[in-house]
Structure 1
């Protein structure tokens, strides 16, 4: 999560709730520490990936995330 980013806070909460409900885990990465990730996603923070592919950015839809994780 980027400090001071309210969208990051909300996205973290949504991802954590959906993953907990499904028994899934997730990894949070600070893209500010990786030049390649920062270049790729700097305008899409927060960004979520599912199976290595971009799933959502800015906001995480819990129903869409749940569907992606259960398909």
Structure 2
């Protein structure tokens, strides 16, 4: 399965820029698709309400994986799984 990693960001967020740079090689190495979504410009206004005060947030296959910081080994392990990520249990 090809996983999709979505980075939720907003303009002017320095941490978002840092995490984006961190995600590029991780996603490329695992063959995952990397998307960026600015929560303030998204068609789904609920994104800004739900995640706006916790950015950056990383979603994997639409489920929240991490916020503020990304553990490289944890994300790589998630992306190596053959099944869709459905969040932490």
TM-score category (smaller protein):
0.7 to 0.9
Q: Is 1:66 the counterpart of 2:65 in the alignment?
A: no
Whole-angstrom CA distance in 2 between matches of 1:9 and 1:63: 20
User: Partner of 1:14 in structure 2?
Assistant: 22
Distance in 1 (CA, whole Å) between partners of 2:38 and 2:56 is 10
Contact 2:15–2:56, Cα closer than 8 Å, also in 1: yes
Runs of 4+ in 1 over 2 A off after TM superposition: 1-4
1:39 aligns with: 49
Question: Matched residue of 2:58: which SS?
Answer: strand
TM-score, structure 2 length as denominator? 0.72
The CA deviation string for residues 28-49 of structure 1, in whole angstroms up to 9 with x for no partner, is 1111123210001011100000
In angstroms, what is the RMSD of aligned CA positions? 1.3
Structure 1: give runs of 5+ residues left out of the alignment.
none
Hey, what does 2:66 align to over in structure 1? 56
Q: Tell me the TM-score normalized by structure 1.
A: 0.88
Q: Distance in 2 between matches of 1:3 and 1:36?
A: 17
Identify the structure with the greater strand proportion. 2
User: Distance between the aligned counterparts of 1:3 and 1:40, measured in 2?
Assistant: 17
